[in-house]
Amino acid sequence: MFDWFFALEQSNKVVISLFTLGAAWGGVKIYANSVKPKRSPLPEPTQIIRFTIDEYESRIQAKIATALKERDHASGKDLDIKNAQIGELKNDLVNIEQSFEKQKQFITKLEAQLIREGNTLGADDLEKATQALEAGDTSLAESLFQQIKDSNALNIQASARASFALGEIAEEEVRWQEAFAHYREAARLHSIFEHLNTAQRLAHRIADFPEAESLAKAALRAAEQEFGTDSSQYGSAQNNFASVLQATGRYEQAEPLYRQALENARAAHGENHSGFGVRLNNLAELLKATGRYGEAEPLYWQALENAREALGEEHPDFGICLNNLAGLLEATERFAEAESLYRQALEIVRGTLGEDHIEFGRCLNNLAGLLHATGRHNEAEPFYQQALAIVFEVLGSDHPTYGMTLNNLAEVLQASGLYGKAGPLYRQALENTRAALGEDHPQFGITLNNLAGLLKATGRFEEAEPLYRQAVEVFEKALGPDHPNTQTVKANFESFLANRPSSD
């Protein structure tokens, strides 16, 4: 998960350094891998997979076709969920060999758990379900896990394990809301780190930040109790809690957690491990978001070299690191260097993840931001349009990244003089951000500032003034008076007051 970039207006132009927001889709790798708590070992089933990669691919295509038909009759939140499902399935098609291997591992693990937990079920039902699993069909297993959960109401841990398995099946089927409900139930029944951490991951994925924060706090406590503060699990919990705080604009609270998580990774894995590079990147994103570019830059370079050595230059994470470093270079107005890295990142992500992946949308968005910042508005607009379509397909219109991208597209339309098209997009972005992140978040301040600038440009001064005032208040509260973006918004407001026509 990595930052979407935004432009802020300065005076009458939108050419200042881009502001980054550490949301679920930003430069923050939100959920570092962690070792799951030890339980009694699962029985080792014979790994018999009775479906081929071609059959698996056909099933994905059939699911996409069904989802597209269902989308025609969906609206509101159901439409967003359906778009997210379609986007995830398309990503599986792009990376078919990798997703097929992942599916085989998932089926094998699920079969082992079903055999262990299903000893009270009928032998015929269990055999039918395992045979169906080996053929790639999880529906019978899902039904049996529901039976296991229902029949173990008095056995809390067994019921929690069954709920967790139901969550895994739903997540594998890209039914994220259902997966979150099952994981949350597992965490309620048995509040161990594995359950809490997984539930907060899904809460963050569907942009339910209040739930994500509550679960992240509980996961941190559970990690300390189960594994101790020196464990990799505790470092993962620190990183994940910090990501929620950053996503909701509480940077001062997030920073010490990121620093502690970085030191945890250094001690647990060493500086050459890819996990250490992830934590370097996350701290760098936080420093960039708070305007400390000089502190952030060496961390970005170190994260890039870590990815090069640990993963190679053809790995998508190397492309993501390039993209993040490019954002820092752009923020410090080294536009030519930044553009080269953005374009290199775009091609790596295109080749490894495909053009339907959210990371490709992020790369498009960020390159468009640079083109916009350097005055190439006509080049920027189609990239923003394509990025917006990807976000809608993968995340839905209620996700804050959709509001971010609407804001960015509105910026370039405004810069091209298309005020009538830009205004409704700003207002839509404002409502999206209000609902997803609240009125105290810097992203809300960004769109307030930009909408105020549009109103000023069209002579609607009475409407613009309260928006400018509110934007200044948001930035001073969230980022402090010395942050570059706070200074920009204040300068915009002061220029507005100095140059607005007299009301006489």
For residue 15, pLDDT over 50 is answered with: no
pLDDT tens readout for residues 280-334: 999 999 999 888 999 999 999 999 999 999 989 988 889 999 999 999 999 999 9
pLDDT of residue 153: 67
Note down the domain range covering 317: 1-37+274-504
CATH number of the domain to which 310 belongs:
1.25.40.10
What's the distance, CA 406 to chain centroid?
Answer: 17
**CA separation for the pair 493, 503 (Å, rounded):** 17
Q: CA torsion angle for 481, 486, 403, 386 (degrees, to 10)? A: -140
Establish if 263 belongs to a structural domain: no
Nearest by Cα to 186 from 207, 158, 211, 209? 158
Residue at token pair 């078919």: 96
Q: Residue 58, Cβ neighbours under 10 Å: how many?
A: 12
Quote the crossing angle between the two packed helices 176-189 and 193-205, to the nearest 10°.
150
**170 located within any domain:** no
Helix (H) or strand (E) holding 290: none
Given a contact cutoff of 8 angstroms between Cβ atoms, the answer to whether 285 and 26 are in contact is yes
Instruction: Kindly state the average pLDDT of the residues 480-490.
Output: 87
432 part of a folded domain: yes
Radius of gyration of the chain (CA): 24
Count: domains in the chain: 1
- What percent of the residues of the chain are helix, what percent strand, and what percent coil, each to the nearest 5? 75, 0, 25
Separation between Cα atoms, residue 240 and residue 246, nearest integer Å: 10
Question: Would you state the pLDDT for residue 300?
Answer: 96
| Residue 396 domain-assigned (yes or no) | yes
Count of residues making up the chain: 504
Q: Which helix (H) or strand (E) holds 301?
A: helix 293-311
Which of 190-199, 247-256, 429-438, 485-494 is most confident? 190-199
Beta carbons of 163 and 198 less than 8 angstroms apart: no
Backbone angles phi, psi at 6, to 5 degrees: -130, 150
Q: Is residue 44 over pLDDT 60?
A: no
Structural domain contains residue 110: no
Nearest Cα neighbor of 89 from 356, 348, 402, 346 is: 356
In a domain, 190, yes or no: no
Residue 326, in any domain of the structure: yes
Q: What would the pLDDT profile of 394-408 be if each residue is shown by its tens digit?
A: 888 888 899 999 999
Domain assignment of residue 22, yes or no: yes
